[in-house]
């Protein structure tokens, strides 16, 4: 049973890793400020055809401003 558990763990980890590197841009989507991704940041998720795009914002003011466009 140990083999089966480790397979699931590896598949899950690689899926999560590739998704992050493709879709997360570490600048504010509204004002373009470079962000510190170690801190909590407001996000918005958008679906563009088959791609999931995650937008980050430096604060909730920027997120709200971006939504209104």
Interface ranges with Zn ion (CB under 5 A): 28, 30-31, 33, 58, 62
Nearest approach in angstroms of CB 26 to Zn ion is 12
SS3 23: helix
Give the CB-side neighbour count of residue 46, counting CA atoms within 13 A.
13
Q: Which is nearer to Zn ion, 11 or 31 (CB)?
A: 31
Among 40, 45, 39, smallest CA distance to 24 is for: 45
Nearest approach in angstroms of CB 62 to Zn ion is 3
Nearest approach in angstroms of CB 29 to Zn ion is 8
């Amino acid at each position: 049973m140990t083999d089966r558990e480790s397979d699931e763990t590896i598949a899950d980890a690689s899926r999560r890793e590739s998704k992050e590197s493709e879709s997360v841009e570490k600048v504010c989507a509204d004002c373009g400020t470079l962000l510190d991704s170690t801190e909590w940041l407001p996000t918005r998720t958008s679906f563009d055809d088959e791609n999931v795009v995650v937008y980050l914002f430096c604060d909730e003011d920027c997120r709200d401003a971006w939504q209104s466009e």
